[in-house]
Each structure stands twice: as C-alpha cells, then as structure tokens.
Amino acid sequence: MIVIKIGGSVVDGLHPSTLADIKAIAEKEKLVFVHGGGKEVTATATKLGKEQKFIVSPGGVRSRYTDKETADIYTMVMSGKINKAIVGMLLRQGIKAVGVAGVDGGILKAERKKKLMVINEKGRKMVIDGGYTGKINDVDPSLVNTLVNSGYVPVVSPIALSEEFDFLNVDGDRAAAYVAGGVKADKVIFITNVNGLMLNEKLVTGMNLEQAKATLPKIGFGMEKKVLACTEALEMGVREAIIASGQVENPISSAIAHNNCTVITPK
C-alpha cells in the first residue's frame, strides 16, 4: 500500500500526466491520499470576513492560529471543498475515490494544545490559549483499511478528534505520516512543488532515518515539517518515505522510481 500526500494548492500545479499516472498505479497498488489546503482555507476565511492570524513559535515555526470560528471554516473547506474536488478529479479518471475526514471512524486522534508559547510583535515570548490546534497522538486505520480492501481509494482530510470530541486542525504532512503508519504502508510519498530536500543548494537524493533527524535543525520552515513527517512515518514502520515534485511527468511513478527526489529509509 502507498500513502500519497498532496497539498491543496499543489493540485492546481500538477503535471497534466498526473491523473493518468495515478490511474495506472491504482490498477496495481492499493492507494490512500491525504491532502492539505491551508491557502484555500485562508482565501475562504477572507471572503467570509474572518481575518486569519498566524503565530510564530520560539523555534521560528509559523502556523495558523485556530480559534473556534476558524476551526469551523477549516473543517468546511478541508472536508468539503478541497476533499470533494480531489475525489471528483479521481472519479473522472475512473478511480473509485471516496472522501473522508480524519474524524470519520476516529481515524485521527489528537491532543488539543491547551496553551501555546509564541513570539509577539515585540519579539518577546508569551503564552496564549491553544485554540483548536492539535498534535496527532493516535490513529485508527480500520475505516481506511475497510475502504481500501473494498476497492476504494480513500481521500483523507487533516482534521482530528480531540479527547473532548472537538474537531482539531492538524498538520497535513504529519496526518499523512500517521495514516501511513496506521495502515502499515510500504511507502509514503509527499508530493510538493520542489524536487525534494535541498541542502547547500544541492538536492539530497537519499538519507537514512538518523541522518534525517540530525538534519532537521538545518531545514527551513515548510520542508522541515515534511522531513519530520518522513521520520515519524519510518518510526511507525513505513519502509520508505519520499519527497518529490508534482510538476514532473508521471510524478508518482517518477517518485517510486527514485528519479530526482529525496528518499529516506530506516537504515
């Protein structure tokens, strides 16, 4: 089984050959998709008159601040607009896709962050309410496995269930890692708009788990989350994690063949 993570904004920039490539692979392999879509959430929230706030952690990581109203918009856009757009895209290719949220069947569970340490406008540390953001701590693959074994291709949106049954905004890359670990996937592929991890202006084509973990502090925001997600997937038993471009011909097949991408393995 292969888990494929695609960003909501990447969908528009995928190579024209992508859908035919996915169909060819789906005829031979069991597939699961996990998607993101932060930019679309921001665009929709703005249209609705809800200003989006972004916070910066002491480590320099920028992320969306999710209050209750933003959480509702996030759920609507992720599990509605983006999820169904991807499902429709796959159905038009004759792929039996079905969209589910991470909360469905309790696929993704997360701990709600009660407090957040942030850097304010004056560059000082301060503690704020955690809002509706979560850190994934458990996965139940039953529903995903049931769908896959029935011949469907699940498309999972990154919304997790808290212990209090709130819907939480969780990172899409890490959601893909946990889904991959939960279903015991052979590979997890992170499709993005670059060829992979760049260090010292060179593409890193391969590294093992320990090397990847040691490299994390040197990586910029965005790619850092993808490499972190790769390490988490490998630690959960996935055999191979790949970061690859969606803008090359037959991007999924190309990633599987290790063409011009970053491949991370356990050893």
Burial class (CB in 10 A: 0-12, 13-18, 19+), 166: middle
Question: Binding site annotation covers 60?
Answer: no
Within the chain, residue ranges assigned H as helices are: 10-13, 18-26, 38-47, 68-76, 83-91, 142-149, 172-182, 209-215, 223-235, 251-256
Q: In sequence order, what are the residues at sequence separation of 6 or more whose Cβ sits closer than 8 angstroms to the Cβ of residue 161?
A: 102, 103, 106, 108, 109, 110, 167, 168
Question: Binding site annotation covers 38?
Answer: yes
Question: Binding site annotation covers 169?
Answer: yes
Q: In sequence order, what are the residues at sequence separation of 6 or more whose Cβ sits closer than 8 angstroms to the Cβ of residue 60?
A: 221
Tokens of 40: 């679309």
**Residue 7 burial (CB count, 10 A):** 22
Question: Binding site annotation covers 174?
Answer: no
Strands 2-6 and 31-35: parallel
Q: In sequence order, what are the residues at sequence separation of 6 or more whose Cβ sits closer than 8 angstroms to the Cβ of residue 194?
A: 223, 245
Q: Give binding residues for substrate as ranges.
A: 37-38, 64, 169
Q: Give binding residues as ranges.
A: 37-38, 64, 169
